[in-house]
Structure 1
Amino acid sequence: MAITKIMNIGAGKKGKITNHLKHALDYIMNESKTESGVLVGGWNCVPKFAFEQMVGTKELYGKMGGRQGYHFVISCPPGEGTPEQLLELMREFAQEFLGEDYEAVYSVHADKEHCHGHLVFNSVNMNTGKKYEYKKGDWKHQIQPITNRLCEKYGLSIMPAEYSKDPVNMNRKQWEKEQSWSGFIEADVKYCRGVADDYAHFIYLLEELGYVLKQGAHLAVKANKMKRFRRLDTISEEFSKENLQEFFDKGRYQYESPRILTPDVRYLPKPKNSYQQKFYGKIYRMRVVEKCRFQYKSACFKEDLERMHMLQEEYLFLCRKDVKSVTDIAGIIGLAKYDLERLTEKQKSLYLERAEIKRKSTNNHDWDSIISTEPEYRKKLDDIKLEKKRLKKEIKIGDRCLKEILYVDLFVPEGVEIGNVYDVKVPKKPWYLKKEEKKVLNETVDGKDNVAESKDFSDCGNWSSNDCYELITDNKEQTFKAGSGAKVAVTEEADPVSEYSNKEVDFTSEIVEKAEETEEQEQVVTKEIYEVMTDKEKAEWIGIDSNDMLVSIKQFHEKLKSIGITYQYISDETEEYCRLEEAIKKNSEPSWYYRNQDKRR
């Protein structure tokens, strides 16, 4: 993306007042940077005489003092755009931004791996004599939008964040934080793509990791700490919806191992007290999150996972200093600050002492003495600087320990063995996705002309709910109409039913009853089925009503108990209920499974 930077050119304090303006113009027109002056242009002036023209305008209106001009830099990322494209972009920028009011020189520097354009313009308006006044918000609402429009015109990427007037957009710090998700999302998408059975399973796995998906012309994801949805094809073209579907249509051809960010707790010293145990426990829990990433929705812990190296540093600091409580840390910080002040005073005294010796030196013998003691003096300074650096780092780590937020409420079930953290248990395709596939398959078969198949009536007791529902009798032939669209034909020569060849026999009621009984059994939710259901489906099955909390909580507790799910801590059960209630509030539209309950009944 091309970003516009703004710098002002002040008045020279020594020599000529216009020196800085002269130096700025000479710099941007440097022939070694602009391919012998080819990549240079002028706006409302001739580049070769631009300085004289600008000074003449200042003298004409008596505006020689104060700011002499402004220097804009438009930078492109490496590999994006050509020098010729950027030179034309700079010309159009000068035309749109400056109009016919200011003299300017623009150029493109192509001496580095990334092209960047420069624009220097006079601070005095050549028509009115007024000075250009930069106001707060001009960059956001006027300057950067011009750059973005021109970048879009020339096929360059744009910066989509803080320049917009739309209040839902982010400031620069927030935007950079959103961009930091790119690597994290890319690793998760690659892993899910590598272990998924098909596209539907891939989407399901991303949701299990804690992402909210938006599917349309493009596939976009959003984690709970992200402010906006992020399109996957902006991270990598291979994650476009078409490429992902093609990946699964052709068959999986590669396997991605999960990205691991947490340290191996087996190589850390064991905690010696309860305070150290809290830090060790967080490291352990974060490692469990990566091992059981689908169960804990690891995308929700992105920031903690990425700063585990800092937590490990804090834990080793506690072990090394034998810290037992917060009071010990405060004492260590206080002592380190005292030592830092003492070393700073010692460093100042060395500087002053050395300066005094040099000042008093009057002959060669004195200077020989200074030169001979220089290595010893430098070693003392280096030792002091090294010790000050260590103390500053110690103070910084101590402050982080005091501010560390520990996830004491992240429950790790008993019997969870981390083992090989790369060996992740991947959820299988849920039952309702399989039913959806089966339904699509049946509809596909219904639309085709199928050759009638003969079926022995002796198998009638083993028919599934998708077998024949209706018996049609026609003198010499009995035909069953299958739910799948196939027809089962039995001639009157068939031994098992020869006695029924000349009379009507109706098995419809018996088969339909059996189908309804089978369907009822399929609707029963077990503990295994509950664990793979989405929050919305869980809430609908339980019957959570956000308007009647007491009844909903009671129902929630009884239904979970009926399928064998209990919680060790009441806080975990409360958190589960609140999450399900939130899912009902966010989307009142029932899921596919429950929308089709009436149809299946």
Structure 2
Amino acid sequence: MAITKIMNIGAGKKGKITNHLKHALDYIMNEDKTESGVLVGGWNCVPKFAFEQMVGTKELYGKMGGRQGYHFVISCPPGEGTPEQLLELMREFAQDFLGENYEAMYSVHSDKEHCHGHLVFNSVNMNTGKKYEYKKGDWKYQIQPITNRLCEKYGFSIMPAEYSKDPVNMNRKQWEKEQSWSEFIEADVKYCRGVADDYEHFLYLLEELGYVLKQGAHLAVKADKMRRFRRLDTINEEFSKENLQEFFEKGRYQYESPRVLTPDVKYLPKPKNTYQQKFYGKIYRMRVVEKCRFQYKSACFKEDLERMHMLQEEYLFLCKKDVKSVKDIAGIIGLAKYDLERLTEKQKSLYLDRTEFKRKSMRNHDWDSIISTEPEYRKQLDDIKLEKKRLKKEIKIGDCCLKEVLYVGLFVPESVEIGNVYDVKVPKKPWYLKKEEKKVLDERQEDKVNVTVSKDFSESVNWSVDDSYEFITDNKKQTFKVDSGAKVAVTEEADPVNDDSYERTDNKTEIFENVEETVGAEDYTKTVTKEIYEAMTDKEKAEWIGIDSNDMLVSIKQFHEKLKSIGITYQYISDETEEYCRLEEAIKKNCEPNWYYRNQDKRR
């Protein structure tokens, strides 16, 4: 997206008031950056004499002092637009924003990966002599909207609409804060995608991390302290709804390690007092949040997690200075400020002494003394600057310690062990998702069985509307009646005759056998998919694979091939071995006792 940045051009030193304006104009017209001056244009002035015209306007109205001009930069992302398009955009921007009131120079720099335009205009109105006055809100309500409109005209991406006049929208600071979520969300989405079993499990894991989901044509998420939902495909094209579903359907699984922002507490010095304990405790709690990120909904702690590097510096500062209370920090800051003032005075004195020494040496033409004393002078100056830098950092960290919010609304049981923070316990798919999935699969399987039975019956015999058949089993007489549409109706009646033979009501051939045998084991095998397999019990899985009828080597091979045929693969061999052992154990418990010993003989 193209964004407009504003910089003001101040007055130079006495006698060189317009120097900064001159340098700004020379910079934007640099031939090395503007393709030998081709990408340069003027508005209300001639490019070659722009500086002279601007100074002439100032002299005409007696406005030589104060702010000399303004410098605008319009930047585009890499690969968007051409330099010629951006140059025309800059011309129209000057026309819309400045009108016939101000002289301006504009150009496009194409020396970097992304093109960016510059515009420098005179601070004095050429018609009224009044100076341009920038007010708070001009960027949001006037400048950036012009850029957005022109970008839309030339096919560039647009700055989001939060800069419109609608009062419910965000200001620039809030918008930048919202944009800071992109990297955090991207890391969480990649991790959940890598550890999820399927698309529904992926969505469930995002919710467990603390995100609220909005599903429709696009998938969007919103976390605590976010003002708006963020579409995932705007963060990364891989996260579009279609790409995510395709990712799981094709089985292109790839593991992503979780993003860790907290320092490892085992490498930090132990706290020596209660005040240090508060800082250490916050670091420890944030470490627990990243270890148990699904349990504590880590997205809710985004701001605290991203400040961990600063919190670590504050804690190490307290340990190094042996701070016991807020009073100690105030004393350290006060002493550091006193030393900083003393060093500043020393630095000024050093500058004056050196200037005086150079003046005397030059008057006496003693160039050797200037050259010989220069290294010692530079060393003293560098030492002072280094010490001042250290003191400024000390003051900054001390101020941060005083402002640090140490309260974290997080209960951590004593039994929690951090251990390897990258080894996160991922929640499995909840029972209600499995139940819903199993219900859908059962309905599909039932429909398939019904279609198979109907097809087998209709192919075996030519049914008529009033055909009926009877047979007696287990002292019950079962009557099969065929209605129109090849539907089979079954009724049962008690029969005193204890006979397993079939009794027919006409001369048609015998066709019925057990309905379950009609489906057959072969048809059941064909209907097993990855989803059906995961919904089976361990005993059903083992029977389908055939573990109970083969020795161990053959069983393992058959186990591997059958799982591979339905799209189940394991990243580690140990996981596959563990699954096989569990299924074998299920067979041991549900079969006759001598099965185990019989298979032990085969293994020998």
1:435/1:34 CA distance change after superposition, 3 Å: same
- Cα pair 1:453 1:488 within 8 Å, conserved: no
3-state SS in 1 of match to 2:407: coil
1:21/1:490 CA distance change after superposition, 3 Å: same
**Cα shift at 1:189:** 0.6
3-state SS in 1 of match to 2:253: coil
3-state SS in 2 of match to 1:108: strand
- Cα pair 2:278 2:406 within 8 Å, conserved: yes
- Equivalence for 2:312: 312
**Cα shift at 1:118:** 2.9
- Cα pair 2:103 2:121 within 8 Å, conserved: yes
1:291/1:16 CA distance change after superposition, 3 Å: closer
- Equivalence for 1:190: 190
1:435 maps to amino acid: K
- Equivalence for 2:32: 32
3-state SS in 1 of match to 2:163: coil
- Cα pair 2:480 2:488 within 8 Å, conserved: no
Whole-angstrom distance in 2 between the partners of 1:496 and 1:221: 69
- Equivalence for 2:2: 2
Q: How does 1:175-574 map to 2 (within 5 A)?
A: 175-361=175-361, 368-407=368-407, 409-442=409-442, 444=444, 450-452=451-453, 476-477=479-480
Whole-angstrom distance in 2 between the partners of 1:362 and 1:244: 75
Q: Which digits, 9 at most, give the CA deviation of each residue in 1:143-197, with x for residues without a partner?
A: 2112112223333222226531122222222222211111111100100011111
**Cα shift at 1:378:** 2.7
1:492/1:261 CA distance change after superposition, 3 Å: same
**Cα shift at 1:447:** 6.5
Q: TM-score, with normalisation over the residues of structure 2? A: 0.68
Whole-angstrom distance in 1 between the partners of 2:413 and 2:434: 29
1:494/1:383 CA distance change after superposition, 3 Å: farther
For the aligned residues, what is the CA RMSD? Answer: 4.1
Q: How does 1:46-195 map to 2 (within 5 A)?
A: 63=61, 65=63, 71-98=71-98, 105-120=105-120, 133-134=132-133, 136=135, 137-160=137-160, 163-195=163-195
1:371/1:123 CA distance change after superposition, 3 Å: closer
- Equivalence for 1:581: none
Aligned residues: 475
Whole-angstrom distance in 1 between the partners of 2:116 and 2:5: 11
- Cα pair 2:90 2:107 within 8 Å, conserved: yes
Whole-angstrom distance in 1 between the partners of 2:48 and 2:359: 50
- Equivalence for 1:564: none
**Cα shift at 1:433:** 1.4
- Equivalence for 2:462: none
Whole-angstrom distance in 1 between the partners of 2:35 and 2:48: 16
- Cα pair 1:452 1:489 within 8 Å, conserved: no
Whole-angstrom distance in 2 between the partners of 1:331 and 1:40: 57
**Cα shift at 1:262:** 0.9
- Cα pair 2:478 2:491 within 8 Å, conserved: no
Q: How does 1:569-580 map to 2 (within 5 A)?
A: none
3-state SS in 2 of match to 1:450: helix
**Cα shift at 1:76:** 1.5
1:334/1:495 CA distance change after superposition, 3 Å: farther
- Cα pair 2:219 2:241 within 8 Å, conserved: yes
Larger Rg over CA atoms: 2
1:390 maps to amino acid: R
Whole-angstrom distance in 2 between the partners of 1:496 and 1:16: 124
Q: Which digits, 9 at most, give the CA deviation of each residue in 1:96-116, with x for residues without a partner?
A: 445567665543221223211
- Cα pair 1:452 1:488 within 8 Å, conserved: no
1:386/1:142 CA distance change after superposition, 3 Å: closer
1:241 maps to amino acid: K
**Cα shift at 1:314:** 1.7
**Cα shift at 1:239:** 0.9
Whole-angstrom distance in 1 between the partners of 2:497 and 2:156: 76
- Cα pair 1:25 1:51 within 8 Å, conserved: yes
Q: Which digits, 9 at most, give the CA deviation of each residue in 1:523-548, with x for residues without a partner?
A: xxxxxxxxxxxxxxxxxxxxxxxxxx
Whole-angstrom distance in 2 between the partners of 1:344 and 1:95: 49
1:64/1:396 CA distance change after superposition, 3 Å: closer
Whole-angstrom distance in 1 between the partners of 2:394 and 2:12: 44
**Cα shift at 1:328:** 2.5
- Cα pair 1:209 1:294 within 8 Å, conserved: yes
Whole-angstrom distance in 2 between the partners of 1:243 and 1:300: 27
Q: Which digits, 9 at most, give the CA deviation of each residue in 1:398-450, with x for residues without a partner?
A: 22222222236422112211111100000111111122223333554576662
3-state SS in 2 of match to 1:73: strand
**Cα shift at 1:495:** 13
Whole-angstrom distance in 2 between the partners of 1:381 and 1:16: 29
Unaligned runs of 5+ in 1: 455-472, 480-485, 503-601
Question: Percent of aligned pairs with the same residue?
Answer: 84
Q: Which digits, 9 at most, give the CA deviation of each residue in 1:358-396, with x for residues without a partner?
A: 444476586544543333333233223222222222222
- Cα pair 1:261 1:308 within 8 Å, conserved: yes
3-state SS in 1 of match to 2:424: coil
1:432/1:117 CA distance change after superposition, 3 Å: same
1:16/1:224 CA distance change after superposition, 3 Å: closer
1:351/1:32 CA distance change after superposition, 3 Å: closer
1:429 maps to amino acid: K
**Cα shift at 1:489:** 6.8
- Cα pair 1:492 1:501 within 8 Å, conserved: no
Unaligned runs of 5+ in 2: 456-475, 504-604
**Cα shift at 1:327:** 2.6
1:302 maps to amino acid: K
- Equivalence for 2:598: none
1:279/1:52 CA distance change after superposition, 3 Å: closer
